[in-house]
Structure 1
Amino acid sequence: MIFTLTPNPAIDITYAVPRLHVGESHRVSITGTHAGGKGLNVAGVLACMSVEHIAIAAVGERHLGFFAEDAAQRGIRLRAVESSVITRRSVAIFSSDGLATVLNEQGSPQPPEVWDELTGIVRSSCRPGDVFTVSGSLPPSTPDDAIVNLCTVAAEAGAELVVDGRGRWVTQVLETIPALVKPNESEAASMTGIVDPLQAAHALVDAGAWGALVSRGAAGLILVTATGRVIEARPRTPGGGNATGAGDALTAAISAGLHGTPRDEVDWPEVLRVGVAWSAAAVRQTVAGVVDRADVESLLDDVDIIEH
């Protein structure tokens, strides 16, 4: 089973405009309102893959019904923890020139009992061979040990850990538990102080990651493992579109590739090829967490793999 944790879920609203002009009024088309946050987007892509998963998230009580209904419609298996905190909103403005502007509310601190319940779900659910992914931001004032405890519980249960986030909490996890980290270029630079993605990936491995996969947008991605492998995957034909869900699609594909397979037996060239194809297919969608498998099939042969 693949478990996705969304520490800071959101109601994702996507607006389409011909072009965004700062300082002016716009008439918008609403292209989607979904239960969101990066972990739920990952779960949405796993549903498109027909991969078994459970999406774990703390949801404000007034929005529980909406999250449950939206998840059911999208084939997401949701395990929601009811919270007294109102769920934040995230607005993505997608223009016809291919640019996306995202406005994210910070969210609000979750009470301690919510973190306790989330930890209890992970402890009772994870098994050897499972994958546990943590994706996205943390609510303000999250206790320093909250996510570390969750990841520790998952790892002690035998689950493989995938972390897609930025900030001090990621390095705290790596100080405690080996994990596969999947930052983008800017996130990797922020965490390491190193602009070059290859060197940043090496630095993340030195910091405790057993693998560091740095995504580079249309330029593809690079993976460095603790065993010394360095692999690049690049689309031959970079495509344009809405990139807001590309990283989540990549996380889903990597998690699916790890599921049930010991990390030293993973066919990384194939997993990365599939990951780039799913990520590129996600760019063709106007909302995150949705991918057309026909797009993926058309992109699988358009990826170059280079192992150094």
Structure 2
Amino acid sequence: MIVTLTPNPSLDRTVEIDELRRGEVHRATGGRVDPGGKGVNVSRALASGDTATIAVLPSGGPEGAQLAALLAPFGVQTVQVPIAGTVRSNITVAEPDGTTTKLNEAGPELTPEEAAAVERTVVDLAARASWVVGAGSLPRGLGVDFYARLVAALRSSDTQVCIDASGPPLAAAVDAGPDLIKPNAEELAELVGRPLTRLADVVDAAAEIRKRGVGTVLVSLGGDGALLVSADEVLHGWAPPVRVRSTVGAGDSTLAGFLAGGGRGRSALVTAIAYGTAAVQLPGSVMPRPGDLNPGAVVVTDNPDLDRPLS
């Protein structure tokens, strides 16, 4: 069973239009409202593939009740930690060529007591889990070291810990030594403080992060696939180009596929890329189901083209 924590969950409204033109009135060609937040998306993708998961959510306000109601049909078991604030709402504007424009609210501010309750809930559930995933931005009140504290709190358990975040919270978590992180190329570049223009740069950056105590680095590279760097291997995988409908949640789906595929090695990377590739072909933040996956189209090599430029 996999426990996910989304410290700053959201309601994600996606509006599809022909072309975004600043300052003009647009007629939507489609739209939907989905439960959102990186950990929520991971749990949704896992549940769609019949992998047992529990999603931990700080939850408050009418939006919190709506979030729980939207998650119920997906088969995601939730543990809601009550907070006085209101769950945020995000808006994504999606264009036919795959371009997405996101408007994300900051979210509520948690009290010290609420922050402690969130951490305590995750630690208690970890005894039943093979993985704990801390994912997404942190609401005000948790502090940039929250994920680092969570990693430290779980260090003595048999549960493996994955952090999927960005900026200072990810940097702090890296130094705490999680078993897995899943940055994209931009987040990895920020971590090491330099641009990454070739696949070799990504490999070097991931190896550098591993030296700081991270067990495995899974880097999502968009159209360039994904890179896996562990103690045993360096693997690069990709799938043939597809028509991109929405990139929202694609990285979360990639992480879910990696964990559903066993959380290590070649087969997990194949599953990760199959999940991510399927996700970008679906509207909004819809997570793929087993019938959407095409793992046979994924290519993985342990001899990557290090001179390959990133697109």
Q: 2:51 is aligned with what amino acid?
A: V
| Partners of 1:105 and 1:134 in 2: CA distance | 19
Whether the 8 Å CA contact 1:151–1:161 is kept in 2: the answer is yes
Q: Which moved more, 1:61-70 or 1:1-10?
A: 61-70
Q: Secondary structure at the match of 2:296?
A: coil
Give the secondary-structure state (helix, strand or coil) at the position aligned to 1:57.
Answer: strand
- Measured after TM superposition, the shift of residue 154 of structure 1 is 3.0
Would the alpha carbon gap of residues 169 and 208 (structure 1) be closer, same or farther in structure 2, given more than 3 Å must change?
same
Aligned length: 298
Distance 1:68-1:100 versus aligned 2 partners, 3 A rule: same
* Cα shift at 1:30: 5.0
Gaps of 5+ in 2: 304-311
User: Does residue 306 of structure 1 match 2:309?
Assistant: no
| Alpha-carbon contact 1:16-1:93 (below 8 Å) kept | yes
Give the equivalent residue in structure 2 for 1:284: 281
Q: Comparing 204-213 with 22-31, which one deviates more in the overlay?
A: 22-31
CA–CA distance in 1 between the matches of 2:15 and 2:260?
30
Contact residue 180 and residue 209 of structure 1 kept, 8 A: yes
- Aligned residue among 217, 220, 223 for 1:218: 223
Distance (whole Å) between structure 1 residues aligned to residue 286 and residue 183 of structure 2:
18
Deviations 1:73-92 (A, max 9, x none): 12111111111112111111
Q: Which residue of 2 aligns with 1:256?
A: 260
State the partner residue of 2:308. Answer: none
Q: Within 5 Å, which residues of 2 pair with 1:172-191? A: 172-191=172-191
Q: Distance in 1 between matches of 2:54 and 2:202?
A: 32
**Cα offset, 1:141, TM superposition:** 4.6
Q: Give distance in 1, aligned partners of 2:244 and 2:63.
A: 33
**CA gap 1:156/1:257 in 2 versus in 1, 3 angstroms:** farther
Inter-CA distance 237–34: structure 2 relative to 1 (3 Å threshold): closer
Structure-2 residue corresponding to 1:192: 192
RMSD: 1.8
More divergent stretch after superposition (43-52 vs 121-130): 121-130
Contact 2:61/2:84, CA 8 A, preserved across alignment = yes
**Which secondary structure does the structure 2 equivalent of 1:284 belong to?**
coil
1:191 Cα offset (Å): 1.2
Corresponding residue for 1:170?
170
Q: How does 1:70-81 map to 2 (within 5 A)?
A: 70-81=70-81
Instruction: Say which is worse superposed, 81-90 or 238-247, in terms of deviation.
Output: 238-247
Q: Which moved more, 1:172-181 or 1:88-97?
A: 172-181
For 1:84, give the aligned amino acid. A
Aligned residues of 1:40 and 1:289 also touching (Cα < 8 A): no
Aligned twin of 2:214: 209
**Residues 128, 157 of structure 1: 8 Å contact kept:** no
CA distance in 1, matches of 2:95, 2:240: 25
- Could you tell me the TM-score, scaled by structure 2's length? 0.90
Residue in structure 2 matched with residue 230 of structure 1 by the alignment: 234
Give the counterpart of 2:270 among 273, 279, 283. 273
Q: Which amino acid aligns with 1:245?
A: G
Using the TM superposition, give the Cα deviation of residue 127 of structure 1 relative to its aligned residue in structure 2, in angstroms: 2.3
Deviation at 1:192, TM superposition (A): 1.0
In structure 2, the residue matched to 1:262 is none
Shift of 1:292: 3.3
Q: Give the share of equivalent positions with the same residue, in percent.
A: 28
Following the alignment from structure 1 to structure 2, what is the Cα–Cα distance between the partners of residues 235 and 122? Answer: 35
Q: What amino acid is aligned across from residue 170 of structure 1 in structure 2?
A: L
In the TM superposition, what is the alpha-carbon distance from 1:34 to its structure 2 partner?
A: 2.0
Cα distance in structure 1, aligned partners of 2:244 and 2:84: 40
Decide which moves more: 238-247 or 73-82: 238-247
Structure 1's consecutive aligned runs of 4 or more residues displaced over 6 angstroms after TM superposition are none
Structure 1 unaligned regions, length at least 5: 260-265
1:17 matched to 2:12: no
Partner of 2:111: 111
Which segment drifts farther, 135-144 or 97-106?
135-144
SS in 2 for 1:242: coil
